[in-house]
Amino acid sequence: MTDASIRAEAEQLKEQANAAFQACKFSHARELYTRAIELDGSNPVYWANRAFTNVKLEEYGTAIMDATKAIELDRKYVKGYYRRGAAYLALGKFKEGLKDLRQVCKIVPKDPDAMRKIRECENAIKKLRFEEAVASDERRSVAGTIDYSAFVVEDSYTGARIQGQHLDLAFVKQMMQDFKDEKRLHKRYAYQIMREALDLLSSLPSLVEVTIPDKCHITVCGDIHGQYYDLLNIFEMNGLPSNENPYLFNGDFVDRGSFSVEVILTLFAFKCLYPQGIYLARGNHESQSMNKIYGFDGEVKAKYFSDVMPEYFSEIFCALPLAHVLNSKVFVVHGGLFSTDNVKLSDIRAIDRFKQPPDEGLMCEMLWSDPHPGLGRQPSKRGVGLSFGSDVTEKFLEQNNLDLVVRSHEVKPEGYEQEHKGKLITVFSAPNYCDQIGNKGAFVRFVAPHMKPEFTTFKDVPHPSVKPMAYAPQAYASSFGF
C-alpha cells in the first residue's frame, strides 16, 4: 500500500469511529480509532478523539496519555489540551485541568467554553484552599449541629410523614411513591433518616462480616448512580429489602444520574428500617470531590436549598463500610484489590475510613482499582488505583481463605462479567448508564450454604425527562458531553 492509501484507510476508520461515537458505542469507537492510529500514528486528531472516547468510558488515565500524545504531535492542537483538561477535571485535578484550559485560551483567545471552565476550575481551587486553611485536626461533625425535630412540618405538606419516633414500612413505601411522582420529602424527615443512618453506619467496622443462614439468600447490587426508577425496578423484580430478603448495595449510589437524592434516601431509609436487611458499601463516588463534579452536591442544594445538607451526606458517606465478607467465602468491595501482596482481612478492618478517600493506599485501591485479563499489576486506566491480574486475585483469595471476589465500578454490556477463571465477578446495576451506553443492569443472588452466584439481568425503564448530570456544574457536564 502507498502512503496515500494508508492515510485514506485511516481516515475512513476515523469516520467510522466518529459514527460509532455519535451512536454512543464508545468501546467500538475506541477500537476503530486504535486501528486508525496503528495505520497513521502521526495524526493528532486520532489520538485526541480516542482520548475523548476514553473520557466517556471513564478511563481518565488513558485519556490523559492519549491527549498528551496529540499535544506532542501538534503543540497548537486545541482539542488535545481540551481533552486532557477534561480528563484532569474528571479526576478532580483542578490545577492540571486549569493549566490545559488556559493553554486553549492562549491558542484560541476568548473561547467561551474554555473561559467558563477556567472560572469553574479557579472557583474550585479557591474553595479547596479555603477548606484547607480552616481545617483542623479535629473532625467537625455537621450532624451534631442539626436538630431535625426543630424543623416544622407545614400543614400544606402532603407527602410521607414519620409517625412517632421511628420509621415504619408504611412511611418508606409512601416516600418511595412520592419520589416516583417527583415529590420532595420534607427536610425534617430527610434529616431524621440521615441521622439514624449515620448512627447505624458509624457503629459498624470497616469490614462487615455477614452471615446468611442455610437456605437463605442475599442479593448483591452494583452501581446505581442516581437511577432511581431502575432501583424501583430492581425492587419490583426481586422484592423490597427486609430481614428475609436482604440486599448488599456495593457503592456508587449517587452522581451521574439526576435522581440521586431519591436513591440515597430510599437506601438509608431501608437501612434504618432493617439494619440486617440491607448493607451499604462505600464507592469512589461517595466522596466530596466526586459529588461536586458529577452532580450530587448540586442536586442536594437544588432540591433542599441547603449548603449544609451536602456536607451532612458527606459525613455519612465517610461512615460507610469499605467491604463485606459473606459467609466467610465471598469478598465484596466496590473497586478492587491492592498494589501489594499479603493484604489480610485484618488490615482492612484496621483502616480508619472516617475521612475523604486518599489518593493512595488500601482505601484508595479498594474504591478505584479494576481487574485486567492478564497477570500482575499495571497502572490504572483511570489514573487512580491500579489494574490487577488474575494471579493477584488468586493470591488474595488463598491468603484469606476465600472463594470469590465480587466488585462493581465498571459498566458491563450484560450488567455483569465473570473474570479471572471465575474467581472475580463485576456487577453493575445501572442499565443504559447515563442514558447513553445501552448496557443491561444486573444483580447477583447468593444462596447459603453453597454461595454460588445466580445472575439476573434487566433493561432500563422510563424515567422523567431529566438528563444525567443535570445538576452538575455546566463546565463539567459539557466536558463529558452532557
Q: Cell 491480574 appears where?
A: 389
Backbone region of residue 79 per phi and psi (left: phi > 0; alpha: psi in -120 to 50; beta: other values): alpha
Q: Cell 463534579 appears where?
A: 293
Q: Measured between alpha carbons, how far is 362 from 286 in angstroms, rounded to an integer? A: 16
Find out whether 370 and 380 touch, Cβ atoms under 8 Å. Answer: yes
Q: Measured between alpha carbons, how far is 135 from 25 in angstroms, rounded to an integer? A: 44
Side chain identity at residue 422, one-letter code: G
State how far Cα 373 lies from the chain centre: 22
Find out whether 472 and 293 touch, Cβ atoms under 8 Å. Answer: yes
- Nearest alpha-carbon partner for 398 in 337, 322, 479, 473: 337
Find out whether 280 and 315 touch, Cβ atoms under 8 Å. Answer: no
List, in order, residues 6 or more apart from 439 with CB less than 8 Å away: 411, 412, 413, 414, 415, 428, 431, 432, 433
Count of CB atoms situated within 10 Å of the CB of 123: 13
Which position among 186, 285, 372, 463 bears the catalytic label?
A: 285
Find out whether 228 and 200 touch, Cβ atoms under 8 Å. Answer: no
Query: What single DSSP character describes residue 437?
Result: S
Rg (CA), the chain: 23
Per the document, the length of the chain is 482
List, in order, residues 6 or more apart from 429 with CB less than 8 Å away: 221, 222, 223, 224, 230, 234, 408, 415, 441, 442, 443
Q: What is the DSSP string of 355-392?
A: SPPPSSSHHHHHHH-EE-SSSSEEE-TTSSSEEE-HHH
In what order do the strands lie in the sheet containing 441-447?
278-280, 247-249, 217-221, 441-447, 453-458
Count of CB atoms situated within 10 Å of the CB of 404: 21
> Is 285 one of the catalytic residues?
yes
Residues annotated as catalytic are: 285
